[in-house]
């Protein structure tokens, strides 16, 4: 059974149709790359997958673990195991990373009929995952993303991903604005979470991250449609001849 199955997806914002019929299937344990030039529809695709308000799906279906994703609220999609690392993570003043993660974890547990996570277990988890992404311990008290540099924000995204342990991780243009060291931490974090049951979609403009997170399949998105699909050889093709060839 595929983890994610997108069929005939048309979607847009307001009157503008941006995705014009997308088919995409991801199986367990696979890493897929969705590449495309600016304006191709990459942000729309991730917005539709996460249930961002203001975006409208006009046709097509999305099945996630056999369930109708489009009928699920954003929080329900998270509980089902979907996670997105945002391109521009937002600041949440007054809410600490610790409080944020604890509330997120307990919300998921509540949806499963479980009680709140034990204090000791939570602290252990925080410590383990902060070490995994090389996040300094003092960040636990910081307000979510407030005053963080671009790299620190991206690291925080990967940290949250490690904490929430999703089945399908979507990395939205994660490699823009990162230096090589931060890029490696993001890649290491993603690769550590990649198991035969878990999958990832890397949505990107540049191929740099894909040198570290090697995709099994590459899809080229252009003008709202998937114009090419293949293996890693497509990345080299884009590197040499750009997106115009498709």
Partner 1 sequence: MDSNSSKNNAGRLSEPGRVHSRFASLAAAEYGLSSAAAPATHQPEKKIRLVSEAQGGMDRSCHQEVFTVGEGEHLDITFIVLPGTSAEIPVTVDITGPGAEVELKGIYLSSGTDNVTFDITMNHRVGGSISRQLFNGLATDKAKCAFNGKIIVAQDAQKTEAYQENHNIVLSDDATVDTKPQLEIYADDVKCSHGATVGKLNEDEQFYMRSRGIPEDEAKVLQMISFVAPVLAGIEDEDLTAKIENAIRSL
Question: Which residues make up the interface to partner 1 (CB under 8 A)?
Answer: 50-53, 73-75, 77-79, 83-84, 86, 89-95, 99-100, 103-105, 107-108, 111, 160, 164
CB of 82 to partner 1, least distance (A): 8
Minimum distance from residue 182 beta carbon to partner 1 (Å): 20
Instruction: Report the half-sphere exposure of 167 (CA within 13 A, side-chain side).
Output: 15
Nearer to partner 1, 140 or 227 (CB): 140
| Torsion angle of the four alpha carbons 145, 190, 187, 213, in this order, in degrees rounded to the nearest 10 | -140
Compute the least distance from the CB of residue 45 to partner 1, in Å. 15
Kindly report the number of other CB atoms within 10 A of residue 110's CB atom: 12
Measured from the CB of residue 207, what is the shortest distance to partner 1 in angstroms?
26
CB of 241 to partner 1, least distance (A): 36
CA 163, 166, 168, 173: dihedral to nearest 10 degrees? -20
The minimum distance between CB 232 and partner 1, in angstroms, equals 29
C-beta of 78 vs 185, nearer to partner 1: 78
- Smallest gap, in angstroms, from Cβ of residue 88 to partner 1? 9
Contact 186, 175 (CB under 8 A): yes
Q: How far is CA 168 from CA 12, 55, 68, 203, in A?
A: 23, 21, 15, 13
Scanning the structure block, which residue is given the tokens 């230096």?
179
Beta carbon nearer to partner 1, 101 or 235: 101
Name which of 61 and 111 has its Cβ closer to partner 1.
111
Token code pair at residue 68: 């109708």
Q: Residue 199 corresponds to which tokens in the numbers above? A: 């999958």
Considering beta carbons, is residue 73 or 118 the nearer one to partner 1?
A: 73
Sign (positive/negative) of CA torsion 166, 129, 190, 153?
positive
On whether the CB atoms of residues 175 and 209 are closer than 8 A, the answer is yes
CB nearer partner 1, residue 75 or residue 179: 75
CA separation for the pair 104, 98 (Å, rounded): 10
Q: Which of 57, 77, 75, 53 is nearest to 4 (CA)?
A: 77
Closer by beta carbon to partner 1, 42 or else 77: 77
How would you classify the pairing of strands 4-13 and 55-64? antiparallel
């Amino acid at each position: 059974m595929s983890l994610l199955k997108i069929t005939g997806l048309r979607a847009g914002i307001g009157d503008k149709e941006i995705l014009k019929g997308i088919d995409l299937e991801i199986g367990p344990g696979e890493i897929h790359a969705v590449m495309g030039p600016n304006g191709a529809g990459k942000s729309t695709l991730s917005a539709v997958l996460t249930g961002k308000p203001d975006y409208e799906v006009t046709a097509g279906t999305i099945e996630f673990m056999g369930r109708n994703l489009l009928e699920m609220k954003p929080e329900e999609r998270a509980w089902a195991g979907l996670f997105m690392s945002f391109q521009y993570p937002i600041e949440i003043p007054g809410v600490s990373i610790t409080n944020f993660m604890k509330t997120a974890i307990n919300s998921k547990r509540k949806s499963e009929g479980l009680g709140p996570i034990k204090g000791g277990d939570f602290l252990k988890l925080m410590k383990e995952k902060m070490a995994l992404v090389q996040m300094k311990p003092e960040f636990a008290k910081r307000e979510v993303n407030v005053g963080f540099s671009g790299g620190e924000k991206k690291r925080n995204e990967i940290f949250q991903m490690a904490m929430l342990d999703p089945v399908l991780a979507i990395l939205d243009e994660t490699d823009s604005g990162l230096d090589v060291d931060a890029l490696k931490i993001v890649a290491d974090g993603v690769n550590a979470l990649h198991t035969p049951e878990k999958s990832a979609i890397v949505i990107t403009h540049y191929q740099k991250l894909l040198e570290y997170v090697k995709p099994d399949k590459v899809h080229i998105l252009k003008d709202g449609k998937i114009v090419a699909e293949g293996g890693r050889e497509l990345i080299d093709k884009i590197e040499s001849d750009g997106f115009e060839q498709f």
